[in-house]
């Protein structure tokens, strides 16, 4: 892989190497920045056969769109899984009951077709859809994941999303007058908008260089805007977009006392990776 793996990553890499022979999948979970996506991508690149690799946001949005085009979710699932022997899914997180029901239909088909599934998550299977009002609705999903996959925790001491490990910048202050690619204000993307996951995916596919300006402290942004910001950053990072973020405040202040929105630790880790470890202020 070109980098030195720690002991936990070496053990996971060895397990993944055995997946094609054993035909048993892996559910890899742990804290942010521990190398789960890196290991998944390396495994997917080397694995034989017909295979697919998705971020869960993108996969669910694609299924919804395809179901509309083909006239039903079962047809959409069949189209996504057509002739696959391996399905890799990154960021396996569930907080919405509608997404959970859609995922259940997909997993039923994956396991019925004996497709090998390898997934990453920040949660154990039992931690998916944690809302107690709905969690019982996915108990069958949890049981199926445990039955068909080896559930492995990767949770070393180090967060490998160190400052400066992703192309892009996190800057406290205003952007320069001229920027490359597209420029959006935080409010335009996340606050005064009804943009959906599908909208963000379509924008990310069209534009490969992004500048996001005027990002406020999340405690002042509100839960809905913060949720959209989380989804947006996940999508842009997963799609490999070159990203510059210009905020009104430092990373510490940005995430101090935020609304009760899940997975913000992952977003902080991803923004940290854009920074070079220094605080840049003013026009850059």
Q: What is the DSSP letter of 187?
A: I
pLDDT of the residue at 145:
96
- 163/137: higher pLDDT: 137
Average pLDDT value for residue range 205-215: 94
Q: What CATH topology corresponds to 168-272? A: Rossmann fold (3.40.50)
Of 162, 124, 130, nearest to 3 by C-alpha is: 162
Q: What is the mean pLDDT of residues 239-262?
A: 93
Domain at 7-153: CATH code:
3.40.50.300
Query: Which comes out higher in pLDDT, residue 172 or 239?
Result: 172
Tokens of 227: 């949720």
Domain ranges of the chain: 7-153, 168-272
User: At 125, is the pLDDT very low, low, confident or very high (cuts 50, 70, 90)?
Assistant: very high
The C-alpha atoms of residue 55 and residue 99 are separated, in whole angstroms, by: 13
Task: Find the mean pLDDT for residues 166-170.
Answer: 79
Judge if 7-153 and 168-272 fold alike in CATH terms. yes
Given this model, what pLDDT does residue 135 score? Answer: 87
Cα Rg, the chain, nearest whole Å: 19
pLDDT in the model for residue 31: 86
pLDDT number for residue 191: 93
| pLDDT tops 60 at residue 84 | yes
Q: How confident is the model at residue 157 (pLDDT cuts 50, 70, 90)?
A: low
Inter-residue contact 244 to 169 (CB < 8 Å)? yes
Give the chain's mean pLDDT: 89
Cα angle 181, 227, 221; round to 5: 85
Report the C-alpha gap between 132 and 135 in whole angstroms.
Answer: 5
Task: Give residue 267's pLDDT.
Answer: 92
Percent over 70 (pLDDT), the chain: 92
């Amino acid at each position: 892989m070109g980098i030195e793996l720690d002991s936990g990553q070496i053990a996971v890499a060895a397990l993944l190497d055995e997946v094609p022979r054993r035909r048993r999948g892996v559910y890899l979970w742990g804290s942010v920045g521990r190398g789960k996506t890196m290991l998944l991508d390396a495994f997917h690149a080397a694995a034989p056969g017909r295979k697919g690799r998705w971020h869960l946001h993108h996969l669910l949005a694609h299924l919804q769109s395809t179901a509309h085009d083909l006239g039903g979710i079962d047809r959409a699932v069949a189209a996504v899984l057509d002739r696959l022997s391996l399905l890799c899914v990154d960021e396996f997180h569930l907080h919405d009951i509608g997404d959970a029901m859609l995922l259940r239909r997909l997993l039923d088909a994956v396991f019925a077709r004996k497709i090998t599934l390898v997934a990453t998550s920040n949660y154990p299977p039992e931690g998916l859809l944690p809302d107690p009002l709905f969690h019982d609705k996915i108990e069958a999903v949890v049981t199926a994941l445990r039955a068909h996959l080896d559930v492995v925790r990767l949770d070393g001491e180090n967060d490998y999303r160190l400052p400066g490990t992703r192309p892009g910048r996190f800057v406290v202050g205003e952007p320069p007058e001229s920027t490359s690619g597209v420029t959006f204000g935080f409010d335009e993307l996340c606050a005064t908008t009804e943009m959906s996951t599908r909208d963000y995916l379509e924008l990310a596919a069209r534009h490969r260089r992004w500048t996001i300006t005027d990002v406020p402290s999340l405690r002042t942004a509100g839960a809905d805007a913060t949720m959209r910001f989380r989804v947006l950053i996940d999508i842009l990072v997963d799609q490999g977009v070159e990203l510059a973020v210009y905020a009104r405040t430092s990373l510490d202040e940005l995430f101090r006392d935020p609304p009760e929105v899940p997975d913000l630790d992952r977003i902080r880790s991803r923004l940290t990776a854009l920074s070079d470890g220094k605080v840049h202020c003013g026009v850059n």
